[in-house]
Structure 1
Amino acid sequence: MMTDSAFIQPPPIARAKKNDSLMRRQRFYGWLMGSPAFLGLILFIFVPFVMAIVLSFTDQRLLSPNPTEGVGLRNYDRLLAVSWLKQDAQRDEQNKLVLDIKGEPQFERLRTVLRQDPSYKGYSELSTVTFSDSRVVVLAKDPLFIKSFINTIKFAFLVIPLQCGAALLLALLVNMGLKGTNFFRTAYFAPVVTSMVVVSIVWTFLYHKDIGLVNEFLHSVSFGLIDKINWLGDPAWSMPAIVIMSAWQGAGYQMLIFLAGLQNISEDLYEAASLDGANSWQKFVNVTLPGLRNTTIFVIMSTTIAAFGLFTQVDVMTSGGPADSTTTVMYHAVRKGFREQDIGYGATISVVYFLVILAIALGQKYYFDKREK
């Protein structure tokens, strides 16, 4: 026979201590299981970034017999310094404009002007705007960094809508449940798991001006109206060529994310829309897109960060050319830091670029959070 003591519950203090002990053990095991990942983040992200900040204030070189010295903000001044000057066209003794061979106003050599003024020491031409009898020259101590940053922004603005749009289209097709869905899902995702170096080499052959399949295809479908395009040798086409290849290579990853989002949308919403007489386009606009809102935000932000890290395609396909039309900030940093062995300046580029990407990511988050409210 059971006594009354069997039904006596432990006092609240004992239960609280037991729950507190359980929570401590859970936290301990949580930190223990996450410790490899935390250690990797510290060793491969936090420590290198701190080292980059320290090196950015030095003149450290990769191989140099001279000891490393602190240079203060000299690397940042070299990277970010921008100025301008105005030049008037040259005139003869009769105050008439002096024209060159092309019949355009002639100006004094910019190099001569810069050497005459000590305040322009270290500056080079970035861009020039010419008016009728004068011109404004924008100067920078590292004009290639400014060009690289503009090229990176251009790449991001082109590849983000193209890649995300293609990924959403592929996800919609796969989600329709047609025959061969598994095959096409594998085919679309295959470029993602393929080495970017291999993909870049293959597309270099595809873009070949004389024997590339891309030009042959365009020449055939246009019945000879489209002439052969120098995809990687023409500054007007080199960046679009890299954009197309990058969007094709990365769309498969975003496709899987969109596909997961599509499968989380309740079928009841589509049935309700059908009962209201909505057609396919109205279902897509009023049901599918709102249901994919959070997924779309994640895809856009992740694609943006990946776009600003463009390096491999440029390194393999164009080496930054032609005429620096495909040079990106990451390529510029690697070239300065390792190929030219200027570690201090390469670290400076990395630090500034990290802050720029962080600001862009936070700006996107703020914009999407504000729209959600």
Structure 2
Amino acid sequence: MTTVNHEPAAPDRRRPDPSPTSAGPVRPRRPDRDLVHGLLMSAPALGGLIAFVGVPFVYAVVLSFHNVRLGSPLAPSFFGLEQYRRIFTDPDMSGPFLRALLNNLTFAAVVVPLQTALALGLAILLNRKLKAIGVFRSLFFMPVVFPMALVAVIWRLILSRSGDGLLNSALNAVSLGNWGAFDWLGDGLTAMASIIVLSVWQGVGFQMVILLAGLQQIPAELYEAAQLDRASRWQRFRHVTLPGIRGTLVFVAMLTSVLSFRVFDQVYILVKGGGLDEDATRTVMYQAVTTAFDQNNIGQASAITVVFFLIVVVLTLIQRRVMRTGDEE
């Protein structure tokens, strides 16, 4: 006789049990914790950005449409686009503004490549395992710690026209008394160059630290492989160092561009107390501040800042697009 096996068949382990009791209750999906944590951590920075940048800028836009005089007993009157029209058509206002904008562009065009190249050179020079290398790094970074007011006073003593000016005294000693006294700050040809040298000396250490951190992230194995392939120093720099810090270089260049358009402190201090040529070194920020507090024209100064903000935004977007295209290539 044929025997029938009454043992229950083994469950198929390849299929999940569809019964809801074995799977447990279905819990509602929670929001992404990383997103919540990110928003909470960035909330103080976003709050400060809105409070100290967003709100003042919106208020400046509102003031630019009004005739507001500092200390005037008259109430502000609506001006419409009159302030913007005067910036570009009124010779008394358009001339200084366009000259200040040209000075800003000249300053940025020189400082951005010069300061970035010097920072990269210093970073490569200090990216070595030597004794007391930390001391040298601190010395190059020390000018960044000094406030710009102090730096401007120091360079005023260096570039002073009088006989006790350090630069004129040194050149006079080298030329055996035939140099004389040259007005480095008051001469229109050297005034902007003096501001550029001062600014690069004070700010190059900050970019150097950023690039030094980028250099230290490049794996040493890449340099060892390049040496085994008998690559020269220039070839190692071109094919290993530059690709390794490409993103850092882009960040440094964009940061330097933004900071170069904000130049104000050294110009204001040296113009007011150092005999600096005002027309040759006038910047847009200097023009806005003097319009607001020397001419008491808050509405005109607000219009200058709004126009300058839009120009800087456009130039930054163009620079970012060009750098992104270069990275893709």
Q: TM-score range by the shorter chain?
A: 0.7 to 0.9
Amino acid at match of 2:259: A
2:282 matches 1:333: no
1:101 aligned residue: none
Query: Which one of 166, 179, 184 corresponds to residue 136 of structure 2?
Result: 184
Specify the alignment match of 1:346 in structure 2: 301
> Which residue number in structure 1 is paired with residue 50 of structure 2?
42
Pair 1:289–1:221, CA change in 2 (3 A): farther
Question: Shift of residue 21 of structure 1?
Answer: 2.3
CA distance in 2, matches of 1:271, 1:247: 34
Preserved contact between residue 270 and residue 276 of structure 2 (Cα < 8 Å):
no
Instruction: Structure 1: state its 5+ residue gaps.
Output: 1-6, 82-121, 125-140
Structure 1 position 29, deviation (Å): 4.2
Structure number with greater CO (CA < 8 Å, separation at least 6) is: 2
Identity of aligned residues (%): 41
Say if 2:192 and 2:281, in contact at 8 Å, map to a contact too: yes
Which position in structure 2 is the counterpart of 1:64? 72
Q: So what's the TM-score if we normalise by structure 2?
A: 0.87
In 1, the alpha carbon distance for the partners of 2:216 and 2:176 equals 43
1 CA distance for matches of 2:37 and 2:244? 36
Q: Which has the higher helix share?
A: 2
Question: Deviation string for 1:103-135 (max 9, x for gaps)?
Answer: xxxxxxxxxxxxxxxxxxx535xxxxxxxxxxx
Alignment of 1:212-361 (within 5 A): 212-221=165-174, 228-319=181-272, 321-322=276-277, 324-361=279-316
The one-letter amino acid of 2:115's match is: Q
Counterpart of 1:128? none
- C-alpha displacement of 1:225: 6.7
| AA matched with 1:317 | L
Alpha carbon RMSD of aligned pairs, Å? 2.0
CA distance in 1 between counterparts of 2:144 and 2:94 reads 35
Q: Deviations over 1:31-90 (max 9, x none)?
A: 333322222111111110100111100001221111111111100000022xxxxxxxxx
Which ranges in structure 2 are unaligned for 5 or more consecutive residues?
1-20
Change (3 A) 1:28 1:323: closer
- Residue in structure 2 matched with residue 372 of structure 1 by the alignment: 327
Structure with more strand by fraction? 1
Question: Cα 1:282–1:332, aligned 2, differ >3 Å: closer, same or farther?
Answer: same
Q: Give the Å deviation of 1:157.
A: 1.4
The equivalent of 2:91 in structure 1 is 123
Q: Whole-Å Cα distance in 1 between the matches of residues 36 and 278 of structure 2?
A: 56
Kept in 1, the 8 Å contact 2:112–2:256? The answer is yes
Contact preservation (8 Å) 1:321, 1:327:
no
Count of paired positions: 305
